[in-house]
Amino acid sequence: MNQTQHIFAKDARRFWTEIALSVAITAAFVFLGRYNWIGKYEPQNGSLMTLAALVTGLVPVSWWVAIARVVHEERLVGDTQFWITRPYEWTSLLAAKLAFVLAFLYVPLFLAQLALLAQAGFAPLAYLPGLLYKLLLITCLIALPLAAIASVTSSFARMALTLLGILVGIIAFFTFTSLADSYWTSDEGGSLGNRISIALVFVVLATAIVLQYSRRTVWSSRRLLIGLPLLLLAVGLFASKYEQAQIDRIYPPAQAGTPIRLEYSPDQASYETSSFEASPRAQIPIKIRLAESGVGDGLLVLIDAVRVELKAPDGSHWESEWRRVGGYKFLPGELTFSPTFLMPIAEFRRFQGTPLRVHLAVAISNAQAGQVTNLPLAPQRFSVPDFGVCSPKHGSTGEFGRTTGIACVFALHQPPLTYISTHWSDWQCSGTASPPDGSVLGTAWVGALDHEPAQFGFSPVVDPYINLSNSENNNGRGENRFRFLCPGTPITFTRYARVGRMQTSVDIPSFSLPKYSVTGNMIIITQ
Amino acid sequence: MNPVMRTEGLNKRFGKTVAVDGISLSVPEGSIYALVGANGAGKTTLIKLMMNILRPDAGSAQVLGIASRDLAGAAFNRIGYVSENQELPEGMTVGGMLDYFRPFYPGWDRALEQQLVRQFDLPLSRKLKHLSRGMKMKATFAASLAYRPALIILDEPFSGLDPLVRDELIEGLIERAPETTIFLSSHDLAEIESFSSHVGYLEQGRLLFSEEMTTLSNRFRDVTVTLSAPAGLPSQLPATWIEAQTADCVMHFVDSDFKEGISERALADRFPSARDLAFAPMTLRQIFLAIAKAGRGAQAQRARERVSEENQA
C-alpha cells in the first residue's frame, strides 16, 4: 500500500461518521430533491418541498464539515503537529485528501445528480459533459474555496469564523458599493468575464493549496487568498470596460433597417413617485417611455441594453454607459415600454429644468421562431422534445385537484428561449377532457438565447417559474378567481434562436428630466 | 567524527524578540548532546529550525547531511523527533498509532516495537487521548525509536514526568545510544548529567559554550581560599573566575578554566599567605547555576552602566 492509499485508508476509518452523515444527506437529497420541483405543481407536497430545500441546503454544509475535518486532520498551520516530522510526502498527503473528497463527496454527488435527472424524466447519461461542467463549477465555487480556507486555518472554529468574515465582507461590499450596479454584461462579454473569473479562482485557490501542502508558508497562501477578491474585482471591472469598448462590435449599427421601430411616447397621464437617499453617490433612475412596432411575423426582438446621451441648449452634455435593461421581448404587435437609465445625482441636478435633446442608443437581439411543438395538456407529466419535462400545476385549497398552470423542469440549464401559449378556461373543467373555451390566451416566456453548459448548484434540475399570463379572472366585484387549464387543451411551445445583434436609436428633440423635491435626507422623484 | 547536526550563524526573530542569535554548533556522530538553558532561552526554537518546522531568518543548518530547509518526506525516515508540545493523533489507540506509522518507515523493526511496547508497558488498545502525560510520552518514544533512527531529537522530553517514567524513558534511550546520535534539550540538569556525552548552554538565544561533558566537568572547580587574615576581593580578578565573593577570611569563586596541577600552583602563587586552598569538582547543576548567575550579574551591571551613561548624557 503506498503512502497515499495508507493516509486515505486512515482518513476513511477516522471520519466514518462524517462520511456516513454526508452520504446520508446526499441520499436524502436524492430522495427529497424531487420535491424541490414537484412541490411547485403539487401544493399538497408543500411541506416536503420545505424539507427538500432544507436538505439541499445541508449538502454544502456537509461538504464544509467533511473538507474541514479531513484537511485539519493533518493541519497545515502551526508547528506542533505530529505529522510534520514524520516521513510524509506532501504529494501523497495532498493526493490522499483529494482522493477522500472525490470518493466520499464527488462520487455520491455525481450519482445523486444522475438519479435526480432520471427522477425528473431525463436520460442522465445524455448529460455527462454538462454534469462534469457542473462539478467543475462546484469545485471552483465550493470545494476549492473550502479546501483553501481549511488549509490556512488551524481548526474548524477558526474556519467558521473566517467564513463568517467572508460572508460579512461580501454583504458589506454589495451594500456599500455601487460597483455591482455599474456593470453591464452582455451575454458574450459576461461569459468572458465569468470564464476569466472561474479560471482565476481555480488557479489562485489551487496554487494556495499546493503552496500550503508543499511548503506550509501560511502567510504566503493567506496573502494569495486575500488578494483573490481584489483580482476578481479587477477582472469584473476589466470585463465591464472591455464589453463597453466592444459593444459597437457586438452590436453593429443596423445596415438595412431594423427589425423593430422605436418611438418616443410621452405619457402625461401616469406618474410614479419614487424616493432615494440624497447621498452624493446616489444614482437616479430615469425612465423613457417608448412605443415599439414593426416586428415581423415569426420574429422576436429583445432589448438588451441602452445608452443615453443628453444635450442641453448651452452645448453641455452627459453620456451614460451601456446598461443592461433585460426582460423586454417583442413579438409582432404594438406595445409601450420604459427602459431605464441611471444618472448620477450631481448630473441630474445639473440638467434639471433644462429642455434636453436625447439620443437613446438601443442594443437589440433579433431572434427567429424555430421548432414549434403542439401538445395537448396531459393529466400527468409529459415530455416536450428539445425543451424539458412539464406537468400540469395544481391549485391549492379552493382549486384542489384542478389545473391552474403548467410547471416544467430542465436538465442542467435553462431551455432555449421558448414562448409558451395556451388557452384558459374560466370554468372548472368537468369530466376527463373539456375543450378550452378559447376566449383567453395564456402566454409565458421561459429560457434564454444563450446559456453555459450547466448552471451552478447542487441540483442538476432547473425549475424556473412559468407564469402564464391572464391566470386570474376578475369577476367585476373586485374578486380575482383562478382560471383553469383543462386536460387536452393544446399548448404550443415555440423555440427562438438568435439570428443577429444590432444597434438602433431613438432621438428625442425635447425631453425634461423628472421633477424632484427634497424631504429630509430623501429625494422624491415624480415621473 | 562527522557532525550529524551542524549550524552556522543561525538566526531567528519573532517580531522584536531575538529567539536564536547567530548560533553555530556541531553535534558529533554517536554523541548524546544535551542542549540546556533556562525556559525561554531558545532551545525549542533552535530545534524547530533544525527540523525545518520553522525557517531561519539567517544562517544555515544541516541535519544528517541535508540542509534543514530541504528536510522533508523521506529524510524523516532516519530521524526520531519527540517534543513535549507535540500533538498526537489523539483519536487513535496506541496500537493504531504504531500500525499507522509502521508503513511510513522502511526500517521499522517489528521486534523492537514489541520490545518497546513491553518495556514501556503500553496499553495498545487504549486511545491516546485517554492516556496520562507520561504514558503518551512513552508511546511517542516507542513510535520514534522502533525504526532505529540515526538521529533522535528530543525537545524537553522529560518535562513534567514523574521520576519513574523519566527513568524508564532514559533507560530506553540509553539502550538505543550505541546505534544512534541523541540530541536533547532540557532545563533539568540533573536528569541529563548522568548520560550526556556533550553539552551546550543556551542563554537568551546565544550559545555560551558547546563541549564534551568531561571537558566541562574538568574545566570547572568550586574554589575556596582560606586566608590568614580577613581581606576584601582583590582587584583585577581573572575573567575566568566567576561569582567571586569573600566573607571574613574565606574567599570563594568558581574557576571556569581549571587545569589540573597548573591552576593550583597559580592560585598558591597569587595567595602565598593562604592557609588552605580547596578545589571541589562541581555537578552540572552547580556549573550552570554559577554561569547563569554570573550572566545575570553581568547583564545587570551592563544595564546599570547604560542607565548611568544615559543620565550623564
Please list every residue in chain B whose beta carbon sits closer than 8 Å to the beta carbon of residue A79: 48, 53-54
CB atoms within 10 A of CB A231: 16
CB atoms within 10 A of CB A22: 23
Please name the member of A14, A80, A90 whose beta carbon is closest to the beta carbon of B85.
A80
Rounded to the nearest angstrom, the minimum Cα separation between B84 and chain A is 9
Q: What is the ipTM of this complex?
A: 0.85
List the single best residue of B14, B53, B54, B156 to mutate versus A (max A Cβ within 10 A): B53
Res. A432 pLDDT band, cuts 50 70 90: low
Q: Write out the E strands in B119-264.
A: 151-155, 181-186, 198-203, 206-212, 221-226, 241-247, 250-255
Q: What is the mean pLDDT of residues A36-43?
A: 74
Sorted by sequence, the CB contacts under 8 Å of residue B44 that are 6+ apart come out as B83, B85, B155, B156, B185
Q: Higher-confidence residue: A383 or A480?
A: A383
Residues of B engaging A, defined by a Cβ cutoff of 8 Å? 48, 51, 53-54, 72-77, 79, 81, 83, 85-89, 91-92, 100-101, 103-105
List the single best residue of A84, A215, A220 to mutate versus B (max B Cβ within 10 A): A84
Contact assignment for A88 to B89 by CB distance below 8 Å: no
What is the SS3 assignment for B254? strand
Please name the member of A1, A89, A90 whose beta carbon is closest to the beta carbon of B103.
A1
Q: Cα–Cα distance between A423 and A443 in angstroms, integer?
A: 8
DSSP state of A416: B
Res. A185 pLDDT band, cuts 50 70 90: very low
Please list every residue in chain B whose beta carbon sits closer than 8 Å to the beta carbon of residue A86: 76, 101, 104
**If you measure CA to CA, which chain A residue comes closest to B97?**
A10
Rounded to the nearest angstrom, the minimum Cα separation between A156 and chain B is 16
Q: Are strands B181-186 and B32-36 parallel, antiparallel or unpaired?
A: parallel
Res. A186 pLDDT band, cuts 50 70 90: very low
Sorted by sequence, the CB contacts under 8 Å of residue B4 that are 6+ apart come out as B27, B28, B29, B31, B63, B64, B150, B151, B181, B183
- C-beta of residue B46 within 8 angstroms of C-beta of residue B202: yes
Please list every residue in chain B whose beta carbon sits closer than 8 Å to the beta carbon of residue A81: 86-87
Q: Which long-range contacts (CB under 8 A, 24 or more apart) does A87-90 make?
A: A87/B73, A87/B74, A87/B75, A87/B76, A87/B77, A87/B104, A87/B105, A88/A3, A88/A7, A88/B73, A88/B76, A88/B104, A89/A3, A89/B73, A89/B74, A90/A213, A90/A214, A90/B72, A90/B73
Contact assignment for B103 to A6 by CB distance below 8 Å: yes
Rounded to the nearest angstrom, the minimum Cα separation between B48 and chain A is 8
Sorted by sequence, the CB contacts under 8 Å of residue A36 that are 6+ apart come out as A49, A52, A53, A56, A459, A461, A463
Rounded to the nearest angstrom, the minimum Cα separation between A73 and chain B is 8
Percentage with pLDDT > 70 across chain A: 90
**If you measure CA to CA, which chain A residue comes closest to B86?**
A80
Instruction: Please give the pLDDT value at position B44.
Output: 94
Instruction: Please give the pLDDT value at position A440.
Output: 83
- C-beta of residue A231 within 8 angstroms of C-beta of residue A200: yes
Rounded to the nearest angstrom, the minimum Cα separation between A88 and chain B is 5
CA distances from A35 to A38, A43, A165, A399, B291 (A): 4, 10, 33, 20, 79
Please name the member of B72, B91, B105 whose beta carbon is closest to the beta carbon of A14.
B91
Q: Cα–Cα distance between B156 and B172 in angstroms, integer?
A: 16
Please list every residue in chain A whose beta carbon sits closer than 8 Å to the beta carbon of residue B89: 82
Contact assignment for B104 to A87 by CB distance below 8 Å: yes
Q: Residues of chain B whose pLDDT is less than 70?
A: 1, 296-307, 310-311, 313
Instruction: Please give the pLDDT value at position A188.
Output: 46
Residue type, A161: L
* A-B contacts (CB, under 8 Å): 46
- C-beta of residue A15 within 8 angstroms of C-beta of residue A74: no
Q: Higher-confidence residue: A213 or A246?
A: A213
Domain annotation for chain B: domains and CATH numbers: 3-216 (3.40.50.300), 220-312 (no CATH)
Q: Cα–Cα distance between A194 and A137 in angstroms, integer?
A: 11
Q: Cα–Cα distance between B224 and B271 in angstroms, integer?
A: 12
Please name the member of B54, B87, B104 whose beta carbon is closest to the beta carbon of A3.
B104
Please list every residue in chain A whose beta carbon sits closer than 8 Å to the beta carbon of residue B12: none
- The phi and psi torsions of A390 (rounded to 5 degrees) equal -120, 160
CB atoms within 10 A of CB B117: 19
- C-beta of residue A41 within 8 angstroms of C-beta of residue A404: no
Res. A189 pLDDT band, cuts 50 70 90: very low
Res. A178 pLDDT band, cuts 50 70 90: low
- C-beta of residue A299 within 8 angstroms of C-beta of residue A332: yes
**The model's pTM:** 0.84
Q: Cα–Cα distance between B95 and B93 in angstroms, integer?
A: 5
| A282-305 confidence digits (pLDDT tens) | 788 888 888 888 888 888 998 888
Helices and strands: H and E segment counts in chain B: 9, 14
| A456-511 confidence digits (pLDDT tens) | 999 999 989 888 888 887 766 767 777 888 888 889 999 999 998 889 888 888 88
Contact assignment for A87 to B75 by CB distance below 8 Å: yes
Assign a CATH topology to domain A261-368+501-526. Immunoglobulin-like (2.60.40)
Please check the confidence at residue A437 and state whether its pLDDT lies above 60: no
Sorted by sequence, the CB contacts under 8 Å of residue B248 that are 6+ apart come out as B230
Instruction: Please give the pLDDT value at position A37.
Output: 80
Cell numbers at residue B114, please?
A: 514489541
Please list every residue in chain A whose beta carbon sits closer than 8 Å to the beta carbon of residue B45: none
Contact assignment for B87 to A85 by CB distance below 8 Å: no
Q: Which residue has the cell 561569582?
A: B243
Please check the confidence at residue A268 and state whether its pLDDT lies above 60: no
Q: Classify each residue of B86-107 as buried b or exposed e, where b means 16 or more C-beta atoms within 10 Å of its C-beta.
A: bebbeebbbebbbebbbebbee
- C-beta of residue B7 within 8 angstroms of C-beta of residue B56: no
**If you measure CA to CA, which chain B residue comes closest to A92?**
B73
Please list every residue in chain A whose beta carbon sits closer than 8 Å to the beta carbon of residue B88: 82
Res. A180 pLDDT band, cuts 50 70 90: very low
Instruction: Please give the pLDDT value at position A86.
Output: 95
- The phi and psi torsions of A225 (rounded to 5 degrees) equal -70, -40
Res. A379 pLDDT band, cuts 50 70 90: confident
- C-beta of residue B53 within 8 angstroms of C-beta of residue B39: no
Residue type, B51: M
Contact assignment for B91 to A6 by CB distance below 8 Å: no
Please list every residue in chain A whose beta carbon sits closer than 8 Å to the beta carbon of residue B77: 87
Rounded to the nearest angstrom, the minimum Cα separation between B96 and chain A is 10
Instruction: Please give the pLDDT value at position A266.
Output: 79
**If you measure CA to CA, which chain B residue comes closest to A216?**
B53
What is the SS3 assignment for A75? coil
Ramachandran region, residue A328 (left: φ > 0; alpha: ψ -120 to 50; beta: rest) = beta
Q: Are strands A283-287 and B151-155 parallel, antiparallel or unpaired?
A: unpaired
Please name the member of A3, A10, A79 whose beta carbon is closest to the beta carbon of B48.
A79
- C-beta of residue A317 within 8 angstroms of C-beta of residue A358: no
- The phi and psi torsions of A471 (rounded to 5 degrees) equal -75, -10
Residues of A engaging B, defined by a Cβ cutoff of 8 Å? 1, 3, 6, 10, 14, 79-82, 84-90
Please name the member of B54, B81, B100 whose beta carbon is closest to the beta carbon of A10.
B100
Cell numbers at residue A447, please?
A: 429560457
Please list every residue in chain A whose beta carbon sits closer than 8 Å to the beta carbon of residue B51: 85
Contact assignment for A86 to B51 by CB distance below 8 Å: no
Instruction: Please give the pLDDT value at position A184.
Output: 47
Q: Cα–Cα distance between B45 and A131 in angstroms, integer?
A: 50
Res. A183 pLDDT band, cuts 50 70 90: very low
Residues of chain A with CATH 2.60.40: 261-368+501-526
- C-beta of residue A105 within 8 angstroms of C-beta of residue A91: no
